[in-house]
Chains A and B, each alone.
Chain A
Amino acid sequence: MQPDDDTLRDIHRRMVRIRVFETEAGKLAEAGRIPGALHLYVGQEAVAAGIMAHLSADDWITSTHRGHGHLIAKGGAFDRMFAELFGRATGYCRGKGGSMHISNMELGMLGANGIVGAGPPIAVGAAFTAKYRKTDRVAVTFFGDGASNEGSFHEAANMAALYKLPALFVCENNGYGEYTAQANHQAIVDVADRAAGYGMPGVIVDGMDAVAVYEAAGAALERARAGEGPTLLECKTYRFFDHVGVRGMGLSYRTDAELEEWQKRDPIHMFEERLAELGVLSQEQAAEVHDGIMAEVQAGIEFAEQSPVPDVATLLDDVYA
């Protein structure tokens, strides 16, 4: 399924939205203006954008602790997202969730998650709803190479395949589970190998190449919507920022040389070169997209900072329905 020109521009826009939002959020966190822990998505944009270009608000996703990018690509609004990161009453979670639990049920975004590997079983439940109601909706679960070592992933993969649920398991293999290199946390190189153990296809794709992600996801989602069951799609990617924050804690778990090597394959730069070559989007037009999104980000930050903090009277609201 090759993307047409509009789709290419749409994917580009989603990627840039993530990049600009995350870069600015990182600056705010390092300046101490956003509290708590931010796990930023910079470097992995092609994965969220390439997959979400196939989804509507009727389709569901589960995300991870590194969840801003997924919500942005699913249609999240910057003002309400920044408001949540700032802990304001106008945030998507009314200031109760923050970065690690950011969500939007109306957009089908069933939450970032502070627990590694918690999302796949929840996505199986959403996919179960899709099938139970005889719809053609799908549920996509994003998780990392680290999460693929959690039992929850294995239980979910088995159940999704057993029931032939309309689910897509997207492993964003960025080479590290927190600060531990993949070679030190699992004996395999390709997480996609694990698909065979559950009777589902395992597909490997270059996670820095948005078109490759889009095409592979398209085939898997078509299969899912047709009632043929789930696929495990492994996207080989890289985290340009640290596990937490931008420079993080400065731990010596990876080298600058390795980071620079991956940055040469920046998914947005590569994609913009390609779109220029194809005559789909010139460098000037791409710059305009960046500028427009930056203005929207700045407006979002302003909205958040001017928003009220949650009323303490709401402390016990929504513990129960």
Chain B
Amino acid sequence: MAEAVATRELTYVGAIAEAAHTVLAEQDTAFVAGEDVAGAGGVFGSYRGLLDAYGEERVIDTPISEEGIVGLAVGAAATGLRPIIDIMFMDFMGECMDEIANQMAKMRYMFGGSASLPITIVTMSGGGMNMAAQHSQSLEAWICHLPGLKVVAPATPHDAKGLIIAASRDDNPVFVVLNKLSLRNTGEVPEDSYEVPIGKARTVREGSDLTIVTYSRMVHEATTAAEALAEEGIDSEVIDLRSLQPMDTEAMVASVQKTHRAIVVHEAVRFGGLGGEIASQIQELAFDYLDAPVARIGAPFSPVPFAANLEQAWLPNAPKIVAAAKELLGSE
């Protein structure tokens, strides 16, 4: 697929901002609302320049009222607009979970299909920045459990832009779960408008000995691990799910059918995390192909600690993936 598209290096946060500009340029009914999104351009810089370009009617600073913000989006979407709302840290979902779980996710179904809720919810997840227990979580399992919501988690600048644009064009509520430790990462990003399809995984690296299924920032840790494993003669395939709800079951099953082993990696706490769902799907659909139980790597069952050494010990990382891969291969 060698398309002649003009790309250039952009940061992850630059790609987010470019997506926001693109969406407001393309859709008259789209607006951005959230805490500090207008005057400040977003606390992470995600909306830099947006207020100047589109004005205060379409780029709106809100009070610190997450339930009010999500409710605003539900009501505005149900009546014909296409809101993009920012929930600054994913940890703040506790403040607005009713409007997410009982209103936004269910309104269409409860109303027999008469309502559409084209809402994009942009939020930040992840640790590694000494932000401690209430600003570092990866809570995607909460929202993937709710029928009616879509959830994507881009790992790269390219996918961040393309998934935000895809979310904005989708007629369902879509959570775009971004990663704050990736904000300064760079990558090739097309200048034009484009979509990364929701529900499609990406094979980051092909391999034959095992499959690492992951998403968000852990894609980079998995890639680093795969390179280290390659030096020891272990050939890993890395699958970046990109989309968590819906999930590209087909892609991961096809990979496992080839490699016969799988490790699922996410930064979220392991117990009750998406890794359990992914491992189950693989075992249900590719049991006969598996040479070993599906391994799962996630954070230990504790809040995210503050002290740098504790936080580093808590986070899943490449060395932990390497160790798990070796154990998996040695377990035959």
Contacts and interface: CB of A to CB of B under 8 A. Distances in A.
Interface of A: 60, 62, 91-97, 101, 103-106, 110-111, 113-115, 118, 120-130, 132-133, 139, 151-152, 155-156, 158-159, 162-163, 317-321
A122 B78 contact: yes
Contacts of B276: none
B108 A132 contact: no
A110 B171 CA distance: 18
Contacts of A126: 75-76, 78-79
Given A115-B102, A320-B172, A321-B171, A159 B112 contact: no
A93 B109 CA distance: 8
3 pairs of A and B residues whose beta carbons are closest in the complex: A121-B71, A125-B75, A155-B68
Contacts of A92: 111-112, 114
Contact of A152 (B77, B98, B148, B172): B98
B113 A122 contact: no
Contact of A159 (B63, B110, B113): B63
Given A105-B111, A122-B99, A132-B76, 16 more contacts: A60-B79, A94-B113, A105-B114, A110-B75, A114-B102, A115-B103, A121-B72, A121-B99, A123-B75, A125-B79, A126-B75, A126-B76, A129-B76, A129-B81, A319-B109, A321-B108
Interface string B67-104: 11011111111111101000000000000001100110
Given A111-B107, A129-B81, A155-B63, A121 B112 contact: no
A318 B113 contact: yes
A303 B77 CA distance: 33
B103 A159 contact: no
A320 to B, nearest CB: 5
Interface of B: 31, 57, 60, 62-63, 65, 67-68, 70-81, 83, 98-99, 102-103, 107-118, 147-148, 150, 170-172
A159 B108 CA distance: 25
> In the complex, which of the residues A60, A152, A156 has the most CB atoms of chain B within 10 Å of its own CB atom?
A152
> In the complex, which of the residues B65, B110, B170 has the most CB atoms of chain A within 10 Å of its own CB atom?
B110
Given A101-B110, A110-B78, A125-B72, A132 B31 contact: yes
A201 to B, nearest CB: 20
Contact of A125 (B71, B102, B114): B71
B75 A122 contact: yes
25 contacts: A101-B110, A104-B114, A105-B114, A111-B107, A111-B110, A114-B102, A115-B98, A118-B98, A121-B75, A122-B75, A122-B99, A125-B77, A125-B78, A128-B76, A129-B75, A132-B57, A132-B76, A152-B98, A155-B63, A156-B71, A158-B68, A159-B72, A318-B112, A319-B108, A321-B172
B108 A318 contact: yes
A126 B72 CA distance: 7
A91 B112 contact: yes
Contacts of A62: 75
A227 to B, nearest CB: 13
A80 B208 CA distance: 59
Contacts of B172: 320-321
A320 B170 CA distance: 10
B78 A118 contact: no
A97 to B, nearest CB: 4
Contacts of B78: 105, 110, 122, 125-126
Contacts of B77: 125
Contacts of A139: 75
A81 to B, nearest CB: 13
Contacts of A95: 112
> In the complex, which of the residues A104, A158, A159 has the most CB atoms of chain B within 10 Å of its own CB atom?
A159
Contacts of B71: 118, 120-122, 124-125, 152, 155-156
A103 B111 CA distance: 6
A86 to B, nearest CB: 14
A155 B65 contact: yes
A278 to B, nearest CB: 38
Contacts of B70: 121
> In the complex, which of the residues B60, B111, B148 has the most CB atoms of chain A within 10 Å of its own CB atom?
B111
Contacts of A132: 31, 57, 76, 81
A321 B116 contact: yes
A125 B73 contact: yes
> In the complex, which of the residues B76, B112, B170 has the most CB atoms of chain A within 10 Å of its own CB atom?
B112
> In the complex, which of the residues B67, B68, B78, B109 has the most CB atoms of chain A within 10 Å of its own CB atom?
B68
Contacts of A152: 67-68, 71, 98-99
Given A122-B71, A125-B71, A159 B65 contact: yes
B159 to A, nearest CB: 21
A101 B108 CA distance: 11
Contacts of B74: 121-122, 125
